[in-house]
Structure 1
Amino acid sequence: MNASLKKYIARFESLQGIPSEEELRNSFGGLHQEQLSIEEYTRFSGTGYQRNVINASATCELIALCFKPGQYTSIHDHGGSVGIAFVYKGTMTEELFEKQQSSGMIAPFAKNSVSANEVSCIDLSTIHRVSNVHDDGLVVITVYFPPLVAMNIYNTENTLVEKWTAAAQRKQYS
């Protein structure tokens, strides 16, 4: 791990409690992809996007999300975690969803493109899907406070919600 990456990890670790969006944005302030060397954490999968843990502590978790063209996440929230996504390489497409009060169903309400060296914040109410609709690989560095241990997985067909846990994912890959 290079010194610049260690510096950013230390900056994130110094944040107290659940950081505000302003604190998250300031933590990534001035960062450009040229300053970080994360090649050792940049691994892609042919079967879906790949989550590669860079650093995890009781305070936060830093992950490199790697997407080949056409890959995407499920529609999900982040449990009790907030965070920030920094696009390291490529362009991230983010579809935002909201829960309809009358039916309990989720519905899309916005779609954003986030380019290299830009960030997108994740708050407690964020329900989204991230995808790579472009021809090049997409690498997104995400930081979660506290570490992401559970998420709800949604669909647009009904109100059923699946649960994802980090423990189950670790078991799957061990």
Structure 2
Amino acid sequence: MELSDCIERQFSGASQWSEASIEEALRGIPELRELASPLATDPEAGHAYGRNVVYADERIEAIVVHLPPGAATAVHDHGRSVGCAIVLEGRMTNETYRVEASGKARRIETATHEAGQWMRSPAGVVHRMRNDGAERLVSLHVYAPPLRGMRRYDAETER
């Protein structure tokens, strides 16, 4: 069975999702790593990482993210979406930020997530993902509702 079919089946019941219920639905997909890892795409020219939307409807969006060694996303939020991600390969460094009155983002926390670990993303979180390792980082992210209105932020320089 294809990953998109599994996601459609697991997410067919409810119309509203929380970070916890997204994680629970994803945990119900057997062999998630084997289904999702081959769907990782290389970054397109001019982009730091690969992003492959593997399923989307009016309620949810599922994306396989591939961060090559040394790559990072921009500091961003997810608009009004909530989400959950699982690291499938490699190690993810996730930096959480607080937006200051100046409009710049200041890093407030850094966490590392190994392959097989989950990361929940409540609405309003500002973060950046990095691959500090020598191997590729592949993760699967599901957002509800689908990502719309994401914002990028300039980060304050560390002193």
- Under a length normalisation based on structure 1, what TM-score does the superposition of the two structures give? 0.78
Conservation of the 8 A alpha-carbon contact between 1:90 and 1:138: yes
Q: Which residue of 1 aligns with 2:41?
A: 43
Sort the Cα spacing of 1:86 and 1:131 in 2 relative to 1 into closer, same or farther, 3 A.
same
Count of matched residue pairs = 155
Mapped partners of 1:33, 1:98: distance in 2: 36
Work out which structure has the larger RCO, using CA pairs closer than 8 Å and 6 or more positions apart in sequence: 2
SS state of the match for residue 48, structure 1? coil
Aligned to 1:148: 147
1:43: how far off? 1.4
Aligned-residue offset at 1:36: 3.5
Matched, 1:137 2:136: yes
Equivalence map 1:3-152=2 (5 Å): 3=2, 6-17=5-16, 19-29=17-27, 36-45=34-43, 47-100=47-100, 102-152=101-151
The runs of 4+ residues in structure 1 deviating greater than 6 Å are: none
Please tell me the root mean square deviation across aligned C-alpha atoms, in Å: 2.3
Q: Distance in 2 between matches of 1:34 and 1:58?
A: 23
In structure 2, C-alpha distance between the alignment counterparts of 1:108 and 1:157, rounded to whole Å: 8
Structure 2, gaps ≥5 residues long: none
Percentage identity across aligned positions?
28
Structure 1 unaligned spans of 5+: 159-174
Q: Secondary structure at the match of 2:11?
A: helix
Cα distance between partner residues in 2 of 1:35 and 1:113: 19
Alpha-carbon distance between aligned partners in 1 of 2:73 and 2:139, rounded to the nearest angstrom: 12
Report the TM-score, using the length of structure 2 for normalisation.
0.85
Deviation (angstroms), 1:53: 1.0
C-alpha contact (below 8 Å) 1:86/1:119 kept by paired residues: yes
Displacement of 1:31 after TM fit? 5.4
